[in-house]
Amino acid sequence: MDNSFNSSPHPAPEAEEVYRRWIHFLDEEFTRHHLPERRAEIVRDQLYQLYLGRPHGGKLNLTLTSELPGNVLSLSLDPENVTLEAEHFADVDPAEFAARKPLLWFWQMFDRSPIGTNHWLGIRFRCMLGRHIFARMGAGVKIHHGVDLSFGYNLWIDDGVTIRHGVRLNDRGGIRLGKGAVIGSFARIYSQTHGAEDYNKVTLASTEIGAGARIASHAIVLAGQRVAAGASVGSFPGESL
């Protein structure tokens, strides 16, 4: 596994060993299995334990009204029983998205789970998933809690990129983040526009953030923009993101 975080705080040795084993296991599983159905099963089984504290198995009692909320939760832990926003877009590539949908659901549900804000684990977990979702996932990348993705497969992330919490990456038309770029908390980066007269008329335009560029917290980068290497977008009070 990546050793780029050695200078940061670590969990207790026993916990770190378990965390690394879990991420390594998942990485191997998603490397071995590319079929959407198998990936969905892997994600379902993992989410069952994260949310319900038990392995998946047994029949749900679908007849009792009193058990409906529990059934809704149990069924929704399976990616095959959920729909994501990207599935409603006409420009989605069905084959590319199908293989990534279970992983995108895992990404979202991990962040919403009780362990989602475990910083040390979360950064490594998202980077592991990113290697199976993105067009490119560089080394030494840090992706913080609550980052929202669209398609995933149109996202290119070079080495050393930092993406702070709550960022929205709408990669429908393609987004490239250059080496060492920093995306501040709750920034929005788009690669699509909507028609002024017809909101359903969508134009895709790839967006590029140059190497070492900085996007300030809450800043917006619109579709088709090219942020030059080392440039800044937005306001930086006190020169800090």
Question: Where exactly are the structural domains of the chain?
Answer: 9-133, 135-241
Please give the pLDDT value at position 3: 46
> In degrees rounded to 5, what are phi and psi of residue 71?
-70, -40
Q: What is the pLDDT of residue 60?
A: 82
Architecture of domain 135-241: 3 Solenoid (2.160)
Within the chain, which residues score under 50 in pLDDT? 1, 3-5, 241
Copy the structure tokens of residue 233.
């977008």
Check: pTM over 0.75? Answer yes or no: yes
Q: Given this model, what pLDDT does residue 1 score?
A: 45
Q: Which two tokens stand for residue 170?
A: 């709408």
pLDDT of residue 113: 95
Residue 239 has a pLDDT of: 60
- 42-65 residues labelled b (16+ CB within 10 A) or e (exposed): bbbbbbbebbeeeeeeeeeeeeee
Rounded to a whole number of angstroms, the distance between the first and last alpha carbons of the chain is: 28
Q: Please state, in angstroms and rounded to a whole number, the distance separating the CA atoms of residues 3 and 23.
A: 14
- What pLDDT score does 7 carry? 61
CA 216, 91, 134, 163: dihedral to nearest 10 degrees?
A: 10
pLDDT on residue 221: 97
